[in-house]
Amino acid sequence: MSPDALAHLLGEDDARERRHSSRELLGRLAPYYREVRGKLLLAGALLLTVIGLGLAGPFLLGQVIDVATAARPPSLPVPAGRPGVIVLALCFVGAVGLSFLLEASLGFLMSRVGVSMVIRLKQDLFRKVLSLDPDFFRDYPPGKLIARVESDTESLKNLFSSTALQLLRASLTFGAIFVCMLLLDARTTLILLPVLCLIGVSTAFFVRYVRSFFVLARRYYAAITGLITEYLQGIEVVRHHDYAAQAEAQLEHVQRARAAVLIKADFFNYSFWGFFGFCEVATAAIVIGVGAEQVRQGTLSVGTLVVFLEYLRQVFMPIQLLSEFVSQVQRGFVAAGRIFGILSLETKVPDAPDAEPAPPLEQAVCFEDVRFSYDGQTEALRGVSFEIPCGKSIALVGPSGGGKSTLVQLLLRYQDPSAGRITVDGRDLRQLQRRSWRAQLGYVPQEVYLFPGTLGENVSVFDARASEAQLMAACRAVEAEDLVRSRAAGLDTPLVERGANLSLGERQLVSLARAFVTEPRLLVLDEATSSVDPETEGRIQRSLDRLLAGRTALIVAHRLETIRACDEILFVDQGQIVERGGHDELWARGGRYRKLAERQFAPVGGGDA
């Protein structure tokens, strides 16, 4: 596989998302931290105490050595000899015991903080995703979105809780020990200062450098998942063309590319760790080299030197911890980048600041010279004007790609016209709040989708406020009452994934019934293209006939019977209305409509058209 091909597999991912710098990400995370600031303050206080108690350990140890070796009097007022050692040991026990108690409380507190922040994030992400436009979902299949809401937020959990704690602890400990060392032996500490600075600078450089590898490795992994999914979903084609070897070769290439990146990332990561191991020993050697002379001269006790060495070990521990957590932090930041990438997305059609709730539709919806382009170049709609008067039903017919679906998208306000306008009782649709407008619509999408849940939940779309009577009325309206009654559990009948325990016709009826739970002011129906058996088709048609009578509706129609029942037919092609009128009128005219109708709706084996 060429480098181009590899890059192509990676390049397309998430192009619409804005990239965030680490600083921006921290800024975006801040409000989540702010929400739990009480708990965080408490955690901070606990942390400071734990660090303080941690520093007491080496100090007490030094005292024990000084008392035990009787090298010089201890700085604490303890008796000399054996009793002094016992008193110091008891102090040490007390400090350690308290430190563990506090540490446990801190762990408990932070695990709660991490979990609750992640849960908030999951909720925000879910809400955001549901508010995005249809074209977003074309680029983000459900699997990918679930990964964002589940795995990515989980990677952040550690960053919120244990990792954050460790990082904070590491930095505070670092500072505190440094101060202690200065107090203990300023000269040696200052000699060590350049080494510590070098370590600081290299950490910053390293963190930035390695991050890019982890990001790339993750993208390769996504490509691997994508390839496997694609080949397994297309297994019949793979089998039919004996294409397995090629599929395996392609996967192998991406796997190798990922492995190469990961090896680099790990190598750098652990070299860094090794470098620190060396620095720790090297600085200890410097301290011993410098301290030995002072010990010989009697200006420094062995106990103090040991304490100094122990503090030195502790100074490195936080930095080692940092490098240990670096991959976790990297992963956390990568995940945060992806999460806030989505959270920063905005719908293309936000409500205007002065938008008002849509009043109930009373007169008509008008398309006035509406133009629209998806890419800013080719126009999908080129000046379309028509009216949907209240009580009338309008059918849209025409070849695929002609602009029918775009018209529906504009009416639902998933998009706004590039020029011209859509009015509702004379008011520009853009001045109305989007959700309040949609709430008046009964939209039946072309694709029938049923949720795992009960029949009732599927009709109401999880609206617990909808009463059983309301739901049954909606079912009755679409002649789906017997569908409910024929099942022992009625509306509580559980539906398996994608409604596989209903026939296609029944699924279509459920989908249709949804639109009637709320008595919509305007029915927008994108008729399913896949036909069903004549009996079900007849049933659906009867329901539609009844439903359309006197109702305001815009229908993308695929059945001749549906079209006949409509008050006006608009033949849409190449973004324009090329013919309009009633069925008989257009049939008689013998134009594009008639040609289409003859082809598409010709009888099959004595059918009913």
Partner 1 sequence: MSAPAAAKPVEGSWSYLRGKLAWMARCWRPHLHLVWVLVLMTAISAGVTLAYPLVFGYVLEELRSLSAGDATPGRVGELVWILIAVGVARAVAALYPAFRAWVNVRIDVFTRRDYFHVVLGKGPAFFTRFRSGDLVTRLTDDITGYPKIGWFCCSGVFRALESGSRVACCLGVMLYLSPGLSAYALIPVPLMLACYLLLKKHLVRAVEEQREASSTTSDHLEAAFTGVTVVQAGCAEERLCEKLAEQLAEREGAEVRLAQLWVLFSIFFQGLNVVGQLLVVLVGGLWVMDGLLSLGDFFSFYLYLGLLLGPMMDLPNLFVTGRQAFVCMDRLEELERYDLRGAKGAFEGERPLERLEQLSVRGLRYAYGEQPVLAETTLELRRGEKLAVIGPIGAGKTTLVRLLAGQLLAEEGELAINGEPFAALDGVSVRERIGFVPQDPVLFATTVRENVTMGREEDPERVARALDLAGLTEEVARFPGGLDHRLGLRGRGVSGGQRQRLTIARALYGEPELLLLDDVTAALDAENEDHFWERVLSTWPEVTVLVVTHRAATATRMDRQLRLQPVGRGRA
Q: Does residue 43 touch partner 1 according to CB under 8 A?
A: no
Instruction: Classify residue 426 by burial, with Cβ atoms within 10 Å: 0-12, 13-18, 19+.
Output: exposed
Q: Does residue 490 touch partner 1 according to CB under 8 A?
A: no
Binding mask 135-174 for partner 1 (x = CB under 8 A): --x-x-xxx-xx--xx----------x-------------
Q: Does residue 236 touch partner 1 according to CB under 8 A?
A: yes
State the amino acid at position 298 in one-letter form: G
Q: Which residues between 17 and 36 bind partner 1 (CB under 8 A)?
A: none
Nearer to partner 1, 167 or 504 (CB): 504
Q: Does residue 489 touch partner 1 according to CB under 8 A?
A: no
Binding mask 306-345 for partner 1 (x = CB under 8 A): x---------------------------------------
Nearer to partner 1, 201 or 237 (CB): 237
First to last CA, the chain: 53
To partner 1, the closest distance from the beta carbon of 21 in angstroms equals: 27
The region of 191-199, 258-266, 415-423, 576-584 touching partner 1 under the rule CB under 8 A is 258-266
To partner 1, the closest distance from the beta carbon of 88 in angstroms equals: 8
Q: Which residues between 402 and 431 bind partner 1 (CB under 8 A)?
A: 412
Q: Does residue 9 touch partner 1 according to CB under 8 A?
A: yes
Output the CA torsion sign for 500, 503, 504, 506: negative
Task: Name the nearest CA neighbour of 541 among 505, 587, 585.
Answer: 505
Q: Does residue 263 touch partner 1 according to CB under 8 A?
A: yes
Q: Which residues between 435 and 454 bind partner 1 (CB under 8 A)?
A: 435, 438-439, 441, 443-445, 447, 449-453
| Per-residue buried b or exposed e for 433-467, using 16+ beta carbons within 10 Å of the residue's own CB | ebeebbebbbbbbeebebeeebbbbbbbeeeeebe
Q: Does residue 259 touch partner 1 according to CB under 8 A?
A: yes
Q: Which residues between 535 and 594 bind partner 1 (CB under 8 A)?
A: 536
Q: Which residues between 273 and 292 bind partner 1 (CB under 8 A)?
A: 273-275, 277-278, 280-282, 284-285, 288-289, 291-292
Nearer to partner 1, 5 or 41 (CB): 5
Q: Candidates 183, 204, 464, 488: give the one binding partner 1 (CB under 8 A).
A: 464
Q: Candidates 204, 245, 469, 488: give the one binding partner 1 (CB under 8 A).
A: 245
Integer Cα distance of 48 and 50 in angstroms: 5
The region of 20-28, 254-262, 358-366, 479-487 touching partner 1 under the rule CB under 8 A is 254-262
To partner 1, the closest distance from the beta carbon of 552 in angstroms equals: 16
Q: Does residue 237 touch partner 1 according to CB under 8 A?
A: yes
For the chain, percent helix, then strand, then coil, each to nearest 5? 65, 10, 25
Q: Does residue 246 touch partner 1 according to CB under 8 A?
A: yes
Length of the chain: 609
Q: Interior CA angle at 505 toward 499 and 509, to 5°?
A: 80
Task: Name the nearest CA neighbour of 500 among 456, 452, 536, 540.
Answer: 452
Integer Cα distance of 66 and 63 in angstroms: 5
CB 593 within 8 A of CB 586: yes
Q: Does residue 347 touch partner 1 according to CB under 8 A?
A: no
The beta-strand segments (E) located in 224-336 are none
Give DSSP secondary structure letters for 33-77: HHHTHHHHHHHHHHHHHHHHHHHHHHHHHHHHHHHHHTSS--SS-
Q: Does residue 64 touch partner 1 according to CB under 8 A?
A: yes
Give DSSP secondary structure letters for 128-197: HHHTS-HHHHHHS-HHHHHHIIIIIHHHHHHHHTHHHHHHHHHHHHHHHHHHHHHHH-HHHHHHHHHHHH
Q: Does residue 262 touch partner 1 according to CB under 8 A?
A: yes
Q: Candidates 198, 461, 489, 588: give the one binding partner 1 (CB under 8 A).
A: 461
CB 385 within 8 A of CB 370: yes
Nearer to partner 1, 20 or 515 (CB): 515
Q: Which residues between 83 and 142 bind partner 1 (CB under 8 A)?
A: 85-86, 89, 92-93, 96, 100, 103-104, 107-108, 111-112, 114-116, 119, 122-123, 126-127, 129-131, 134, 137, 139, 141-142
Q: Candidates 205, 209, 267, 374: give the one binding partner 1 (CB under 8 A).
A: 267
Q: Interior CA angle at 554 toward 551 and 558, to 5°?
A: 115
To partner 1, the closest distance from the beta carbon of 172 in angstroms equals: 19
Q: Candidates 295, 355, 364, 578: give the one binding partner 1 (CB under 8 A).
A: 295
Position of tokens 């080129």? Answer: 382
Integer Cα distance of 72 and 74 in angstroms: 6
Q: Does residue 221 touch partner 1 according to CB under 8 A?
A: yes
Nearer to partner 1, 169 or 438 (CB): 438
Nearer to partner 1, 32 or 273 (CB): 273
Q: Candidates 27, 31, 350, 401: give the one binding partner 1 (CB under 8 A).
A: 401
Query: CA separation (Å) from 455 to 147, 488, 499?
Result: 28, 12, 9
Nearer to partner 1, 148 or 583 (CB): 148
To partner 1, the closest distance from the beta carbon of 119 in angstroms equals: 5
DSSP designation for 525: E
Q: Does residue 496 touch partner 1 according to CB under 8 A?
A: no
Nearer to partner 1, 222 or 419 (CB): 222
CB 461 within 8 A of CB 514: yes
